[in-house]
Amino acid sequence: MNEVQNTKPIVGIIMGSDSDLPIMQAAADVLTGFGISFELTVVSAHRTPLRMVQYANSAKKRGLKIIIAGAGGAAHLPGMVASITSLPVIGVPIKSSNSIDGWDSVLSILQMPNGIPVATVALNGAKNAGILAASFIGAFDDTIGKKVEAFKQTLENEVLAKVSKLKTDGWQNQFD
């Protein structure tokens, strides 16, 4: 893993409840791996709406470049934050204990009205949210961009190694 060089956070990771942390940890792990500084906290759209407004209003002034917002159930946090800030927001729908198989969270984040976009990843897809945030940052930061390119090359190499193994061992012998 790479050390985070800049201690001033440029990504905000927020979640509606601390029960979301086991999912959102994946975004933090990815950002740490890319050497991207971040902050992580709980901001509930329903239980702490004034904190949510203050967080979204101050994010850009505090140096954040992007916000990853995870929420379950009604999942209003990503959209409400996106309605307040001009920063890009990546929404992570979370299958929570009161969820309807996660579909309520997915649709709450995905179906934003025109003018308030939220980039939405898969249910519990915080890892992809971290990769997407790194890609956005890498578009303007060559160091991060090269790390994202190397990461994607690693993915390709892993698939090609599996292709080679299938050719060598045969598909019938893959599950022994």
With beta carbons less than 8 A apart as the criterion, state whether 77 and 14 touch.
Answer: yes
Helix, strand, or coil (residue 36): coil
Tokens for 137, please give them.
């940052």
- 62 labelled ligand-binding: no
- 96 labelled ligand-binding: no
With beta carbons less than 8 A apart as the criterion, state whether 36 and 64 touch.
Answer: no
Closest CA to 40 of 110, 121, 133, 112: 133
Q: Kindly report the CA angle at 54 between 129 and 82, in degrees rounded to 5?
A: 40
Side by side, the strands of the sheet bearing 119-120 are 38-42, 11-15, 66-72, 89-94, 119-120
With beta carbons less than 8 A apart as the criterion, state whether 93 and 123 touch.
Answer: yes
- 51 labelled ligand-binding: no
Q: Binding site: what residues are annotated?
A: 17, 20, 47
Annotated binding site for substrate: 17, 20, 47
